[in-house]
Chains A and B, each alone.
Chain A
Amino acid sequence: MSTEAWTLVAEGEEAAIFGYGVLTAELAGAERTRALSATDAHRVARDRARAALSAQDLNPEVPAAFEVPTLTNATGAMAVAAAIELRLTDLYVALSASTQDADRKYASQTAQETTARAVMWGWEPQAFPTALADQKAPVPATTTSQGSASSPNDGAKIE
């Protein structure tokens, strides 16, 4: 059970790193600095997820490319950043329920960090944070042909 949750977290963190790599180009000043700092945090989190999987002798394949909505300005970039973070909140909530002790603590603390970052990107707090209905977070490019639900109409495939 925890294997699946860690795998989703590892993939979600890869998508986050990829997405921030695209959206950071639209940002300047303090927002750019914040995006770079978030990217670092997601690299550390990705490495932790992969380490947890390696400890189970697992090295799941990571998608080589993700689909990111087309970005034309800083506002759009911040909306995607918020979506990235909230999607991870869901993945860490799921991880918390399928792990114990130190791993559960880590999952809870990381869910708090991702949700707090979403607020810094302009998302309004909610009682029960969850991924945005109009999903803007990057999704693996290999799965976007499976359904329009995870494939924004204005999405651009970036490889």
Chain B
Amino acid sequence: MNSNLQSYLNSTISSAPLAVFRIGFGLMMCYGMIRFWAHGWIESLYIEPSFHFSYYGFEWIKPLGHFTYLLFITCGLAALFVALGYKYRIAIIIFFLSFTYIELMDKTTYLNHYYFISVLSFLMIFLPAHKRFSVDSYASAKAYVTTPRWTLDSIKLLLATVYFYAGLAKLNSDWLLRAMPLKIWLPSKYDLPILGDLLQLSWMPHAFSWSGMLYDLFIPFLLIYKRTRWLAFGLVVIFHVLTRILFPIGMFPFVMIVSAMVFLDSSVHERILSFLKKRIGFMHTYFPKKEITPTSYNGGEQPAAAIAVVSFILFLQLAIPFRYLFYPGTLYWTEQGYRFSWRVMLMEKMGNAQFKIVNKETGKSFYVNNTDFLTPFQEKQMSFQPDFILQYAHYLGDHFAAQGHKNVQVFVDANVALNGRLSQPFIDTKTDLYQVKESFQHKNWILPFHDEPK
């Protein structure tokens, strides 16, 4: 092995940032689960719908009826255990599995930041984030004051990838020249105090588009470079707080702000830990004070295996967003290779899809009332995403065939508007979708898009 690489892998840094990150991550995720429940979303998104949109290859993952609540409880508790650093390895594995299961239940709710959390929690399985300021550390009476440099760097690299790829995705004519979709989104926030009027200025969408693009592309470097680190962190806070004010994006801004703290100097984290330590001093009434031996962490029992897995995940993150290059057509239109690529809040797309059930022999037909089968949210998401349309067409075909309809064909008349262009026909109305199989192949029944962004 290259000696530079070897010395990098052997080098260590303070373990405080990793411990602080673990605590912040666990607490936020635990809160996220409670918040999700409190909004009634477990019921409305997973229990009420009679039909769920699955990911290709994961059709076997379904909501569990009322046991879905148990799934969220498990996930929330696992997150809390992660924060406490109690049975960390098991806790983070359970968190990863339950969280990812939740996300795979219905792709209607797909969000990049949920995907980010799945990837991040998988990564964390291989990081020794519980070796300091944790129950595990207390129990073993050992605290590792240092950790291999790569453990923290892997989180930094994942974050940098998210930002940088989000920035790359913004390098297109719709975003930069037409200032779309911000030209639609920003003026509609007219009712915000102070900001509402400012957002009406005609140059504002362009200013937001360009600064958003520059922010995403350069913030990783500004965070890494020591002299600009605090400035960059300030920008992170401002940027995410602003997006929180402008858009309904839930926890994501806070997740990013807390995550970005890993870039800060470890002295900050040491201070946070000593602050926390004072706060929980009362615990010693219940748990006797122990002499905890500070040691240096060597990377665990299987450092090479962990490094290999972590490298592989990070490599995948760099590669997966480019899979769209294998598909013909306009990415925004066909969305083939759109997800899992950090294309965050990039387009304004809406559709309307009217399905027709035809008897192939008699030619008799009728339209489907989508509200009979889908929740409004599902219908909204289905109407402009081809893979949703296909899955729903099959569901309808099966449904009506089971009802005794003969020679069932399923056609759709779908129209979609993208970034303020007038709506256009989306799917070939002559393709019997019931005969089309889902695959990773190009979906040639998506009609070509006119006036594509460059």
Question: Do A and B come together as binding partners?
Answer: no
Query: Hey, which bits of chain A sit against chain B, CB under 8 A?
Result: none
